[in-house]
């Protein structure tokens, strides 16, 4: 949530900062700003430009003579105070000598604001961040590092922050506590950012700060230290990412109109990457070296608890189903955002699994920390290499989906499902999953990328259905057992980008209340795979049709819908355990085309941000 970028070197900072901000805009997009250090010291040394709106609005409105070779910038997702020019970052102290950009939340901001006001400081914004600038400005320490340390010592909360000070023109000081902060190394120039996306065009040699760490960044290098100013001597290393994959979807060779579209269509290739080298066709097993676990440790597991947020939580529910089906271990998924608040019982023979695209979702990260604090073993299914959750876990499975930029997650979710399938096979094969069943699933997994491609090829068909659904103010998504998390994910995608009210129910629960809402204006999207529940599902379709509720049915070829009037969307057959992911794909396309039809900003839906790094 929110994006930070910084540059110090010999080049002009503004174009670099603006370009970096545009790459971070998916992190927060209600306002943007930057500050550069011009020549000289004193009040006029820092030049600030900020405004509500998008990065392009900021760029268009930038004064002509806005120059400097060091600067920091920010793109905001509002937490304290509405999205307006004043609340946009950077924030400065009263003397305009300190400028701060900040991600995270200062929990004791109200008390600090009161104290500053009592000291005669005039606060101009509604934000929590502004207090940091004033506190740094008030510090009497001799160094910028000391001033930042003084400010942080009275702050409670989370931060990824960058500080520019007129009196210390050769440096930017950055700090991390709960919000990502990365230092990028160039040739006699250095970068800082909250996300690799803003760095890879310039450098892939980076150092990722840990919580509680700070860094001084000058044109010639960086040093890292703790709050007590003792050195942590972190070194930079190369990250294995393809800078081309971060290029803007609208400019690149794929020629898609949005990241979401690009990312949906990348799913066959992403799935293939995820499975590469991990399927053992001979023994019907999976290779998951990153888990750092021996077969006897797998056998000792008595329960699996999966934690994730939003769509990652729903895929976690699909994953729990896979683990119960294939490994016969009790498994369930829980919203990570609730987990630590109920003082969870952490058991030594439970395997905890954190699932996250970004690896930075604060609720999931805090859940992982709670488990580890209580001595539990936790593994991560994470897309972003080196992210906080990946680093915090005892082992894990990287998703290899490639960078995902659209707020609506698609290819990462598909790979999360594949990760769960591999884990379930692995857990199953050290227990009762037979070699024949293992081989059956491994063969089916190998076929999935091709089947995903077949579904995506039907995009036009889905687009037509989506345009009809988009006209309804409200809709239901229903499914049962394996189909229920599919319905939840379908409703989530739909509401996220189309802004239509979409609600998921277990098909079996319809008669216990929601059926009262069925009428011609309320369409239902039903998940009806060819399995042992088909007949019951078709029964529910009849009940909806009898009340003149329009129906879209995601099903398999050959499933007899018993003459019910419905628009059917057939997906290829796989093994029943893998149906959930193939049935999720049409729902992504329905949501996408509904949002497109309604003219929404698909990659940046209102009120949301790509990764939620505040509680
Ligand atoms: O980065 P994460 O996977 O941890 O993000 C979790 C959720 O915030 C995320 O899945 C969210 O629900 C998506 N926008 C769904 O499309």
Contact yes or no for 267/410 (Cβ under 8 A): yes
Which residues are within 8 A (CB) of 9 and not within 5 positions of it... i.e. 6 or more apart? 69, 70, 186, 188, 189, 190, 219
Closest residue by Cα to atom 6, ligand 1, is 309
Find the DSSP H helices in 457-566: 459-470, 483-498, 534-546
Cβ of residue 337 lying under 6 Å from some atom of ligand 1: no
The whole-number average pLDDT for the span 454-476 is 96
485 or 41, higher pLDDT: 485
Distance 596 CA to ligand 1 centre (A): 20
Query: Is residue 380 predicted with pLDDT exceeding 80?
Result: yes
Which atom of ligand 1 lies at the shortest distance from residue 410's CA? 16
Residue 588 Cβ inside 6 Å of ligand 1? The answer reads: no
d(CA 135, CA 100): 11
Residue 80 has what pLDDT? 78
Mean pLDDT over the full length of the chain: 93
Ligand 1 centroid vs 458 CA: distance in angstroms?
26
State pLDDT tens for residues 511-535. 999 999 999 999 999 999 999 999 9
Of 588, 590, 591, 578, the closest CA to residue 318 belongs to 578
Ligand 1 pocket residue status of 613, Cβ below 6 Å: no
Least confident of 12-26, 30-44, 191-205, 517-531: 30-44
Looking from the CA of residue 416, the nearest atom of ligand 1 is: 3
Ligand 1 centroid from CA 384, angstroms = 13
What number does the ligand 1 atom closest to the CA of 361 have?
4
Strand partners, 182: 193, 208
User: Best substitution site from 306, 310, 381 to test ligand 1's pocket, by max atoms within 8 Å of Cβ?
Assistant: 310
Q: How remote is the C-alpha of 147 from its chain's centroid?
A: 33
Where along the chain do the CATH 3.40.50.10490 domains lie? Answer: 259-456, 460-598
Pocket test of ligand 1: the residue of 180, 309, 415, 496 to mutate, having most ligand atoms within 8 Å of its CB, is: 309
Whether the predicted pLDDT of 500 surpasses 90: yes
For residue range 409-435, what is the model confidence (pLDDT) as tens digits? Answer: 999 999 999 999 999 999 999 999 999
Cα torsion angle, 96, 98, 103, 105, sign:
negative
What span, in angstroms and rounded, lies between the C-alpha atoms of 377 and 107? 30
Instruction: Tell me 546's DSSP state.
Output: H
Going from the Cα of 609 to the center of ligand 1, the distance in angstroms, rounded, reads 9
> Is it the case that residue 42 has pLDDT exceeding 80?
no
Banded pLDDT at 253 (limits 50, 70, 90): very low
Nearest-angstrom CA–CA distance, 23 and 17: 10
Beta strand 395-398 pairing with 377-382: parallel
Distance 312 CA to ligand 1 centre (A): 6
| Residue whose CB lies within 8 A of the most ligand 1 atoms, among 361, 364, 610, for a mutation test | 361
Quick one: residue 556, left, alpha or beta (phi over 0 = left, psi -120 to 50 = alpha)? beta
Question: Annotated catalytic, 374?
Answer: no
43 confidence band (pLDDT: 50, 70, 90)? low
Q: Is the CB of 401 under 6 A from ligand 1?
A: no
From the candidate CATH numbers 3.30.70.100, 3.40.605.10, 3.20.20.10, 3.40.50.10490, the one assigned to the domain spanning 460-598: 3.40.50.10490
Q: Does 53 score more than 80 pLDDT?
A: yes
* Centroid of ligand 1 to alpha carbon of 411 (angstroms): 12
Which of these is catalytic: 50, 411, 493, 610?
Answer: 610
Contact 193, 7 (CB under 8 A): no
Q: Is 383 in the pocket of ligand 1 (CB under 6 A)?
A: no
Q: How many CA atoms are closer than 13 Å to the CA of 132, on its beta-carbon side?
A: 32
230 burial (CB, 10 Å; 0-12 / 13-18 / 19+) is exposed
Q: What's the predicted TM-score (pTM) here?
A: 0.83
Q: Distance from the CA of 50 to the center of ligand 1, in angstroms?
A: 28
Instruction: Assign a CATH topology to domain 3-241.
Output: 3.60.20
The 10s digit of each residue's pLDDT in 293-342 is 888 899 999 999 999 999 999 999 999 999 999 999 999 999 999 999 99
* Torsion angles phi and psi, residue 528, rounded to 5: -135, 80
Residues of the chain with CATH 3.60.20.10: 3-241
Predicted confidence band of residue 243 (pLDDT cuts 50, 70, 90): confident
Test site for ligand 1: of 1, 355, 357, 498, most ligand atoms within 8 A of the Cβ:
357
- Is 249's pLDDT higher than 70? no
DSSP state letter for 602: S
Cα–Cα dist 93/441, whole Å: 61
Nearest CA to ligand 1 atom 8: 310
* 248 within 8 A of 20, measured Cβ to Cβ: no
Q: What is the three-class DSSP state of 34? A: strand
Query: What is the band of 41 on the pLDDT scale with cuts at 50, 70, 90?
Result: low
Active site residue 393: no
Whether the CB-CB separation of 44 and 94 falls below 8 Å is answered with no
> CA-CA distance, 223 to 431, in Å (whole number)?
49
Burial (0-12, 13-18, 19+ Cβ within 10 Å), 153: exposed
Distance CA 384, CA 392 (A): 13
Instruction: Give 406 or 611, the one with higher predicted confidence.
Output: 406
447 burial level (CB within 10 Å; 0-12, 13-18, 19+): middle
Is residue 183 within 8 A of residue 176, CB to CB? The reply is: no
Residue 311 CA: nearest ligand 1 atom is 10
Share of the chain above pLDDT 70, in %: 98
Q: Does 245 score more than 80 pLDDT?
A: no
CA of 397 to the centre of ligand 1 (A): 17
| CB of 361 shorter than 6 A to ligand 1 | yes
Output the pLDDT for position 176: 95
**C-beta 584 within 6 A of ligand 1:** no
Contact predicate 515/466, CB 8 Å: no
Q: Are 385 and 242 in contact (CB under 8 A)?
A: no
CA of 588 to the centre of ligand 1 (A): 14
What does CATH list as the number for 259-456? Answer: 3.40.50.10490
pLDDT in tens, 177-217: 988 899 999 999 999 999 888 998 999 999 999 989 999 99
Q: Kindly state if the Cβ of 312 falls inside 6 Å of ligand 1.
A: yes
């Amino acid at each position: 949530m929110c994006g930070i970028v910084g540059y110090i070197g010999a080049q002009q900072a503004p174009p670099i900062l603006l370009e970096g901000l545009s790459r971070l805009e998916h992190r927060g997009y209600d306002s943007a700003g930057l500050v550069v250090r011009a020549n000289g010291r004193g009040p006029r040394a820092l030049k600030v430009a900020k405004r509500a709106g998008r990065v392009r609005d900021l760029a268009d409105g930038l004064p002509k003579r806005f120059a400097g070779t060091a600067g920091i910038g920010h793109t905001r997702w509002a937490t304290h105070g509405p999205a307006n020019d004043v609340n946009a970052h950077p924030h400065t102290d009263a003397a305009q000598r300190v400028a701060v950009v900040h991600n995270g939340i200062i929990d004791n901001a109200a008390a600090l604001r009161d104290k500053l006001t009592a000291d005669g400081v005039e606060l101009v914004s509604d934000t929590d961040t502004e207090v940091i600038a004033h506190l740094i400005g008030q510090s009497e320490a001799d160094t910028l590092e000391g001033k930042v340390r003084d400010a942080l010592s009275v702050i409670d909360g989370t931060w990824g922050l960058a500080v520019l000070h007129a009196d210390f023109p050769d440096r930017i000081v950055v700090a991390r506590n709960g919000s990502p902060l990365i230092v990028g190394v160039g040739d006699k120039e250095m970068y800082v950012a909250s996300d690799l996306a803003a760095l890879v065009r310039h450098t892939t040699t980076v150092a990722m700060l840990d919580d509680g760490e700070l860094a001084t960044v000058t044109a010639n290098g960086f040093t890292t230290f703790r709050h007590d100013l003792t050195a942590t001597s972190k070194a930079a290393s190369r990250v294995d990412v393809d800078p081309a994959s971060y290029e803007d979807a609208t400019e690149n060779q794929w020629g898609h109109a949005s990241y979401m579209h690009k990312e949906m269509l990348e799913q066959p290739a992403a799935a293939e990457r995820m499975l590469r080298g991990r399927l053992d066709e001979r023994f019907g097993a999976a290779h998951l070296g990153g888990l750092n676990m021996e077969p006897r440790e797998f056998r000792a597991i008595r329960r699996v608890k999966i934690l994730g947020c939003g769509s990652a939580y729903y895929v976690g529910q699909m994953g729990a189903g896979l683990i119960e089906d294939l490994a016969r271990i009790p498994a369930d998924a829980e919203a990570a955002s609730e987990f630590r608040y109920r003082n969870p019982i952490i058991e030594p023979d439970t395997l905890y699994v954190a699932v996250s695209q970004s690896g930075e979702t604060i609720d999931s990260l805090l859940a992982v920390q709670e488990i580890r604090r209580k001595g539990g073993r936790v593994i991560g299914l994470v897309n972003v290499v080196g992210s906080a959750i990946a680093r915090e876990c005892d082992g894990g499975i990287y998703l290899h989906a490639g960078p995902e930029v659209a707020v609506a997650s698609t290819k990462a979710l598909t790979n999360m499902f594949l990760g769960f399938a591999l884990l379930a096979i692995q857990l199953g094969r050290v227990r009762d999953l037979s070699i024949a069943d293992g081989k059956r699933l491994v063969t089916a997994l190998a076929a999935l990328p091709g089947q995903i491609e077949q579904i995506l090829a039907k995009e036009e068909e889905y687009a037509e259905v989506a345009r009809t659904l988009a006209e309804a103010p409200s809709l239901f998504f229903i499914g049962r057992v394996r189909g229920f998390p599919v319905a939840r994910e379908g409703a989530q995608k739909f509401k996220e980008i189309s802004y239509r009210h979409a609600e998921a129910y277990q098909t079996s629960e319809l008669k216990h209340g929601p059926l009262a809402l069925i009428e011609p204006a309320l369409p239902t999207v039903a998940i009806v795979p060819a399995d042992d529940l088909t007949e019951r599902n078709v029964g529910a379709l009849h009940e909806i049709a009898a009340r003149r509720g329009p129906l879209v049915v995601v099903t398999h070829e050959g499933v007899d819908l018993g003459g019910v009037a419905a628009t059917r969307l057939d997906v290829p057959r796989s093994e029943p355990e893998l149906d959930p992911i193939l049935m999720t794909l049409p729902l992504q396309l329905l949501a996408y085309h509904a949002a497109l039809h309604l003219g929404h900003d698909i990659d940046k839906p209102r009120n949301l941000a790509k990764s939620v790094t505040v509680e």
